[in-house]
Structure 1
Amino acid sequence: MSDPDPGPWPAQVTVDLDAIAHNVGVLRERAGSAEVMAVVKADAYGHGLVPSARAALAGGAAALGVAQPAEALALRQAGVQAPVLCWLLTPAVDADALLAADVQVAASAPWALDLLAAAARRSGRPAQVQLKADTGLARGGAFALPVTDGDPRTDFEALVRHAAVLAAEGAVRVVGVFSHFAYADAPGHPTVRAQREAFADAVRLAEGAGLHLEVRHLSNSAATLTTPGAAWDMVRPGLAVYGLSPVPDVASAADLGLRPAMTVSAQVAVAKRVPAGQGVSYGHTYAPERATTVVDVPVGYADGVPRHASNVGPVQVGGRRFRVSGRVCMDQFVVDVGDLPVQAGDEVVLFGTGADGAPTAQDWAEAAGTISYEIVSRFGPRLPRRHVGQAGR
């Protein structure tokens, strides 16, 4: 079963929901006794928020994770009932809406707890909170390491004390503590061990304050696959849910048993012969050495094709590999296909599973000097999503 025909748009993103469910199954096996929270932030890394969330749950995910409150509310509005954790708040957040939707909310500072407690008092029901500890990433969360020499107190300690007061009042219910690795894609890096130890200290601190934790989680995709001892009660994979390797220098997606879920393809808009030496696309940064056929592919950086992939981005045409010829434009790019017989309407695959020799998102990441996370998540809503497979339907 697939979604309705997306219409005449000349390019599309195809998402295999069964692959997402399969990948969650692989991650469940790797997680041992820990449950899986599938991260579906950023429109499920470009794969489509609601269909991907349902597929992940069908594959055995116990909970879902999002960054933005609007993402959590969109899941609830679509009828998704599984536990949802939202971890990026600002003081302008609509805490009342999150509580009414039964969303678990991360608190990284006392002001966030106060905001949630105020909403809880208005609603008459406690806010479900997970405390975020910064164990060395120095990004989100309350810093759980001493900052000043000789002063053992930490921001996370203050957060725990404040949470305990509000929990005793009944305004909040602290259901978990979590943190995030800085270097999990290099499992032997010393920060991995240091953060594991810091997280264990943070958990002991919270439990010592009388907080009754239901879940404790630290592992992202990379740690789930390479550092099983960091699993705790739950793992929190994102990229691997969509079939891409978070540790491409260690193991490929195929090595890990993962199936890439996204394929990006387009139809040739124009095919024509050009003479030797003819500059191609803006700035003439590419010119063929002999007479050749060039094809115009109607997808560009406004759709998500990295401009950094100019002259290097790999594509498949007629079962053969080529690369972007010249600069990627806003709505299109050009490919020199030599003497291959190509005509308007023929398919161009930017990336997919790689099983048939087509490029993968990892190939594009390496060509453009970035990571596969960015490649899949940057393809925007202008390209229709076509969801195939049965998982979560």
Structure 2
Amino acid sequence: MSARLIVDLDAFAANLRLVRERIAPADHMLVVKDDAYGHGLLPIVRRAHAEGVRWFGAFDTATGRTVREELGPDARIFVWMLESAADLSAAVDADLDVGVGNALLLEDLAALGPRPADALRPRVHLKIDTGLHRNGIRTEEWPDAVARAAELQRAGVLGVEGVWSHIAEASDAEDDAARALFLQARQTAAAAGLSPGFAHLAASAAGFTRPEFREDLVRIGAFAYGIAPAGGPDADSLGIVPIASLRAEVITTDGTHAHVGVGSLDGIPSPFGGMLSVRTPGGVRRVVTVRADRLIVEGWDGMTVGDEVIVLGAGGLHTATELAERIATIGEEIAVRISPRIERVYPGAPAR
């Protein structure tokens, strides 16, 4: 395969510094779900840790365990998609912070029983559903849930470390209403005898633009990789830079068009035919068709097999977000579509 995703870890580090400055004094929880948004999990977490990031949002237990194995004990790793009691137990054994968004998970924790004095006690972040309905304990069930969590904490079964939620980031008014529910939920938790050390509500967009939403932690994923929000300010306005560049070589020509070795099976959506332009040695050229294994691109004088074409991202004509908006989706979806069979290259990174 001629395609490769060039990931600039120095640009990533610059984004991390910008994030840290923008959300201070809150800490940055770097979200690394979906193989670090398609950029490659291990090189990303290594560099982030070297840059001082200590909180990682891993989404699922398998990813969290991989990050733990790579970084050792000097990291807090938060997971919130727990598929079973066995999955939950594995997360606890790996010393992961666990997001609990329903009463059944609390009972799964209760079934683990009190932990021995020298064992890891589950670190729990209780999630209140503030209206997005992306799991979370509903407001009418919250008083009973925090009372049960307080009971289990007194019994030595778990420790409630945080209260958190997702917001829709759809409008300021909707987010204000969600925040009001969140603040009320924290008061209810305190009345039940809980005193969690962390609260986290905001993700990338609210974390950058609404200081009152930052709390103790801000979960930022997309912005750290230079992926701007669809329909919102662009990367230049935010100060972030795309860290990846998808490049591929010409694999054949037909005299009129160049056939570039990346296609829909590699993650380029088929509708991009006619709406995507790429940077070639002969200048900007339009993609005529997206086939399963290649792009058919308008030709140029002197085109030849092996010529490099920048398809999207850094150095190209379009960012992932710009293209996403054309097919009514978000930039991170374009990023995670890039096939894992495409080689990820990290110029200047130490060999492992």
TM-score using structure 1 length: 0.84
- Name stretches of at least 5 consecutive residues in structure 2 with no aligned partner: none
Deviation digits for residues 308-353 of structure 1, max 9, x if unmatched? Answer: 2122122111262222212x2221121113x432111001111122
Residue equivalent to 1:163: 149
Cα distance in 1 for partners of 2:248, 2:43 equals 22
Q: Amino acid of the residue matched to residue 333 of structure 1? A: L
Bigger mean CA deviation after superposition, 50-59 or 223-232 = 50-59
Residue equivalent to 1:295: 258
- Name stretches of at least 5 consecutive residues in structure 1 with no aligned partner: 1-8, 145-153, 274-292
1:330 aligned to 282, 285, 292, which one? Answer: 292
CA contact (8 A) 2:8 2:346 kept: yes
Residue equivalent to 1:16: 8
Taking a change above 3 Å as real, the CA distance of residues 95 and 132 of structure 1, as seen in their structure-2 partners, is same
Cα distance in 2 for partners of 1:348, 1:212 equals 55
CA contact (8 A) 1:262 1:376 kept: no
1:100 aligned to 93, 104, 126, which one? Answer: 93
Cα distance in 2 for partners of 1:21, 1:378 equals 23
Cα distance in 1 for partners of 2:301, 2:189 equals 65
- Bigger helix share: 2
CA contact (8 A) 1:87 1:106 kept: yes
Residue equivalent to 2:334: 375
Offset of 1:118 from its aligned partner? 2.8
Cα distance in 2 for partners of 1:75, 1:116 equals 23
Deviation digits for residues 131-172 of structure 1, max 9, x if unmatched? Answer: 11110101211122xxxxxxxxx1222221111111110101
Residue equivalent to 1:6: none
1:55 aligned to 26, 39, 47, which one? Answer: 47
Taking a change above 3 Å as real, the CA distance of residues 390 and 257 of structure 1, as seen in their structure-2 partners, is farther
SS at match of 1:138: coil
SS at match of 1:254: helix
CA contact (8 A) 1:117 1:127 kept: no
Matches within 5 A, 1:269-288: 269-273=251-255
CA contact (8 A) 1:21 1:60 kept: no
Q: Amino acid of the residue matched to residue 164 of structure 2? A: F
CA contact (8 A) 1:20 1:241 kept: yes
Deviation digits for residues 260-298 of structure 1, max 9, x if unmatched? Answer: 11111000001122xxxxxxxxxxxxxxxxxxx201111
Residue equivalent to 2:320: 361
Residue equivalent to 1:278: none
1:140 aligned to 135, 144, 147, which one? Answer: 135
CA contact (8 A) 1:54 1:80 kept: no
Larger C-alpha radius of gyration, 1 or 2? 1
Cα distance in 1 for partners of 2:195, 2:273 equals 53
- CA RMSD in angstroms, aligned pairs only: 2.0
What is the count of residue pairs matched by the alignment?
349
Bigger mean CA deviation after superposition, 35-44 or 345-354 = 345-354
2:204 is the counterpart of 1:212:
no
Q: Amino acid of the residue matched to residue 133 of structure 1? A: I
Taking a change above 3 Å as real, the CA distance of residues 344 and 173 of structure 1, as seen in their structure-2 partners, is same
Offset of 1:198 from its aligned partner? 0.8
Q: Amino acid of the residue matched to residue 183 of structure 2? A: A
CA contact (8 A) 2:85 2:105 kept: no
CA contact (8 A) 1:317 1:348 kept: yes
Bigger mean CA deviation after superposition, 314-323 or 45-54 = 314-323
Residue equivalent to 2:162: 176
CA contact (8 A) 2:136 2:165 kept: yes
2:312 aligned to 343, 351, 354, which one? Answer: 351
Residue equivalent to 1:266: 248
CA contact (8 A) 1:57 1:392 kept: no
Cα distance in 2 for partners of 1:68, 1:182 equals 21
Identity of paired residues, percent? 37
CA contact (8 A) 2:64 2:96 kept: yes
